[in-house]
Structure 1
Amino acid sequence: MSKIVLITGGSSGIGKSIGEFLTQKGFVVYGTSRHPKEYPDSKFPLLKLDLKDVSTIKASIETVIKTEGRLDVLVNNAGAGITGPIEEIPLTEIKANFETNFFGPIHVIKAVLPYMRSQKSGLIINITSIAGYMGLPYRGVYSASKGALELLTEAFRMELKPFKIHMTNVAPGDFATNIASGRYHAPLKEGSPYKSSYSKTLDLMNTHVDSGSDPKLMARAVFKIIKTKSPKVHYKVGGFMQIFSIVLKRLLPDKVYEKLLMAHYKL
């Protein structure tokens, strides 16, 4: 029997690539979007889901269960970027980012667990970020939200083991998607003490996304995880130096690593 997969944020970028790849491999795929009618050419069904609206989360999952009778795999992919000096980012925007990147996935997980527990099987894949392994300048809020999801995954998977439900996370590096256009950017303010350094860092971040890896790499990684009997706790997908940067953080003294990051961002 084909596995039933639900991917949040399946209308574009990494989520779309994962959905199309899994569809080609014979999986029954459902994606989600806040505005599914805007994507009539999607190669798999898109259900309306807003991570900030629990009623839409429950409704979309109930639709899958009523249609297919079960749900085998959840890919928590939907997320939002945010950049800016932490001092100048409005608190409302910081909270909104955590609602999407951290609390949203928790709502979705809580909604699917009763079904997976009754099946005595299931796999939940949380898409985090390599940025979640380190506090990056002018991406601190994003790093914090993704890092929180990484730690939550570590704890959650141990709680779920008795029910034969697996959980893991996949941390991507920079991929060629439209995330830069959709993320919140704190404005470059005249007279701001951060203007010069933030401007340079912002240009560098956008360049990294534009020259990022093909999202199909993430799709292949997710496919391999689904086919794995016992997934690992963490997976990283991206360029060699991005993945190696996590190793360096473990090996180098904190201040040395900090200097490397500041040199990279020309700070």
Structure 2
Amino acid sequence: MSKVVLITGGSSGIGKSIGEFLTEKGFKVYGTSRSPERYTSSKFPILKLDVKVVSTISDCVQSLLEQEDRIDVLINNAGVGITGPLEEIPLEEMKSHFDTNFFGPLEVIKAVLPQMRKQHSGLIINVTSIAGYMGLPYRGIYSASKGALELVTEAYRMELKSFNIQMTNVAPGDFATNIASGRFHAPVNENSPYKTAYGNTLKLMDSHVDSGKDPKIMAEAIFKIISTKNPNVHYKVGEFMQKFSVALKRILPDKMYEKLLLNHYKL
């Protein structure tokens, strides 16, 4: 019997690549979008879901269960970027960001857990980011939201163990997607003390995304995880140096690691 997979944010970017790859592998894939009517040519069904609106989450899960009567895999992929000097990002934008990248995924998890407990099986994959392992300049809120999801996953895994429900994190590096176009960018203000440093860092971040790897690499990694009997707590997918940066943070003294980041961002 084909496994039923639900992918939030499955209409574009990494989510779309994962959905298409798993569909080719014989999975019954359902993606989500706030505006599913825009994706009538998708290779798998797109259901309506906005991670910031709880009613759409419950409606989506109920609709899926009416069609399939089970959910084997949830891939919490929906997310947004945010950039800016921490001093200048409006508080409401910070809260909105956490609603999408942290609280939204938690609500989707809550919606699927009753069915997974009923099945006494299930796998939840939270797509985080290598940026969640370190506080990056002008990406501090993004790092914080992804890092929070990483830590919550560690706790959730232990709470779900007795129900035979598995959970893991997959932290991608830079991939060639449209994430930059969907970010909240604090404006580069002419009178800001951060004008030059933030403007240069923003250009560097965008160049990383533009030269990023093919999202299919993430899809292949997700497929391997689903095919693994006992998934690890954390996975990292990306360039060698991006993954190695996480290991360096564990090894190097804090100030030495901070200096590496300062040099990388030319700050």
**TM-score range for the pair, normalised by the shorter chain length:** over 0.9
Q: Where in structure 2 are the equivalents of 1:1-267 lying within 5 Å? A: 1-267=1-267
Q: Name the SS of the counterpart of 1:87 in structure 2.
A: coil
- 2:70 is paired with a residue of what secondary structure? coil
**Structure 1: how far apart are the matches of 2:70 and 2:99?**
27
Report the Cα distance in structure 1 between the residues aligned to 2:117 and 2:162, rounded to whole angstroms: 10
Q: Deviations over 1:91-113 (max 9, x none)?
A: 00000000000000000000000
> What is the CA–CA distance in structure 1 between the aligned matches of 2:165 and 2:65, rounded to whole Å?
17
Give the deviation of 1:150 after TM superposition.
0.1
Separation (CA, whole Å) in 2 of partners of 1:170 and 1:219: 11
Question: How far has the Cα of 1:149 moved from its partner?
Answer: 0.1
How far apart are the structure 1 equivalents of 2:40 and 2:5? Answer: 20
Give CA-to-partner distance per residue, 1:221-245, whole Å, 9 cap, x none.
0000000010000000000000000
Question: Cα offset for 1:123?
Answer: 0.2
How far apart are 1:39 and its partner, in Å? 1.2
Number of equivalences: 267
State the 1:12 CA deviation.
Answer: 0.2
In 2, the alpha carbon distance for the partners of 1:165 and 1:256 equals 40
- TM-score between both structures, scaled by the size of structure 1: 1.00
**Residue identity opposite 1:111 in structure 2:** A
Offset at residue 144 of structure 1 (A) = 0.1
Q: SS of the residue aligned with 1:88?
A: coil
The CA deviation at 1:40 is 1.4
In 2, the alpha carbon distance for the partners of 1:109 and 1:40 equals 26
- Residue deviations 1:45-84, cap 9 Å, x none? 0001001100000011111111001000000000000000
Q: For 2:169 and 2:253, locate their aligned partners in 1 and report how far apart those are by CA, in whole Å.
A: 26
C-alpha distance in structure 2 between counterparts of 1:51 and 1:183, whole Å:
16
Which residue identity lines up with residue 136 of structure 2 in the other structure? L
Task: Measure how far apart 1:41 and its partner are.
Answer: 1.0
Q: How far did residue 44 of structure 1 move? A: 0.4
Query: 1: CA distance between counterparts of 2:183 and 2:223?
Result: 27
Rounded Cα–Cα distance in structure 1 between residues aligned with 2:183 and 2:46: 22
Give the letter aligned to residue 14 of structure 2.
Answer: I
Instruction: Extract structure 1 runs of 4+ deviating beyond 4 A.
Output: none
Counterpart-to-counterpart distance in 2, 1:41 and 1:194: 44
Instruction: After TM superposition, give the deviation of residue 7 of structure 1 in Å.
Output: 0.1
Is the partner of 1:59 in helix, strand or coil? helix
3-state SS in 1 of match to 2:87: helix
Structure 2 counterpart of 1:67, one-letter code = Q
Segments of 5+ residues of structure 1 without an aligned counterpart are none
User: For 2:71 and 2:161, how far apart are their aligned partners in 1?
Assistant: 17
* Alignment TM-score, normalising by the size of structure 2: 1.00
Within 2, Cα distance between the matches of 1:43 and 1:183? 26
Look up the SS of the partner of 1:169 in the other structure.
strand
- Corresponding residue SS for 1:86: coil
Residue ranges of structure 2 left out of the alignment (5+ in a row): none
Identity %, equivalent residues: 74
Q: Which residue identity lines up with residue 103 of structure 2 in the other structure?
A: F
d(CA) in 1 for partners of 2:180 and 2:201?
A: 13
